[in-house]
Amino acid sequence: MEMRVNATRMQLLNLRRRLRMAQRGHKLLKDKRDELMRQFLEVVQASKELRTRVEELLAKAAGDLALAGAVTSRATLLEALLYPKQKLELEVQMGQIVSARVPRFRCRWGEEREKGGLYPYGLAETPPELDTALRTLAEALPLMVELAEKEKAAELLAEEVEKTRRRVNALEYVLIPQLTQAVRFITMKLDEAERGNLTRLMKLKEIVRGEKEA
């Protein structure tokens, strides 16, 4: 798409100013895109490591629960876990990574955990594998919350990277070439007009000089 312009010096000054602004904006957006990408890769790497740890803990807890179920009836296990003693409070705030708004999850155990009340059942009535499974799940839960935070941050950062990339490309491949072409066109037209005026002046001088000599 070509830019229609009037070949005037005022228009040339305006276009040159717009071109400088577009070039400056292009550089700033490229820097922003690069920083967003760096932050995105860091979050993805941290998320990958955290997911591996969470999966290990969940697999361990599942194994312990399976062992507990092998030595205890299902009804006994369900009854032991029917009334949990612990509470976990989740606080959600919004933070920012470069220009992307991302959630911040913070979890806090209730007073029961501070008092050591981990198990909602009598230890004499349940197998030790159930105790181990609950401890493992208690360790995994905050990590799962952190993993959710990082995966959501990665998703939002990816959207911001794509949005910034489109803006960079629009400046680099559309607006800046259009402005450059328009500046070149007006400069060429003004140069042609100036050469034409100079030619007419020279001819006028020759005519005047010829009249004086006659």
Per-residue pLDDT, 79: 79
Nearest to 81 by CA among 90, 72, 92: 72
The pLDDT tens digits for 143-194 are 999 999 999 999 999 999 999 999 999 999 999 999 999 999 999 988 888 8
pTM over 0.85: no
Residue 114: pLDDT above 60?
no
Beta pairing partners, 104? 93
Nearest to 129 by CA among 80, 79, 74, 64: 64
Per-residue pLDDT, 8: 86
The pLDDT tens digits for 30-86 are 999 999 999 999 999 999 999 999 999 999 999 999 998 888 888 888 877 777 777
Measured CA to CA, the distance from residue 212 to residue 123 in angstroms comes to 125
> Residue 69's CB: how many other CB atoms inside 10 A?
15
Residue 76 identity = T
Residue 116 near residue 131, CB atoms below 8 Å: no
Nearest to 149 by CA among 46, 22, 29, 68: 46
Per-residue pLDDT, 130: 87
Per-residue pLDDT, 203: 77
Residues present in the chain in total: 214
Per-residue pLDDT, 111: 63
Measured CA to CA, the distance from residue 50 to residue 151 in angstroms comes to 10
Measured CA to CA, the distance from residue 98 to residue 105 in angstroms comes to 18
The owner of tokens 């999850």 is 105
| Domain annotation for the chain: domains and CATH numbers | 9-208 (1.10.287.3240)
User: At 19, is the pLDDT very low, low, confident or very high (cuts 50, 70, 90)?
Assistant: very high
Residue 139: pLDDT above 70?
yes
Residue 77 near residue 130, CB atoms below 8 Å: yes
> pLDDT: is 203 or 139 the higher one?
139
Residues 6+ apart with CB under 8 A from 2: 178, 181
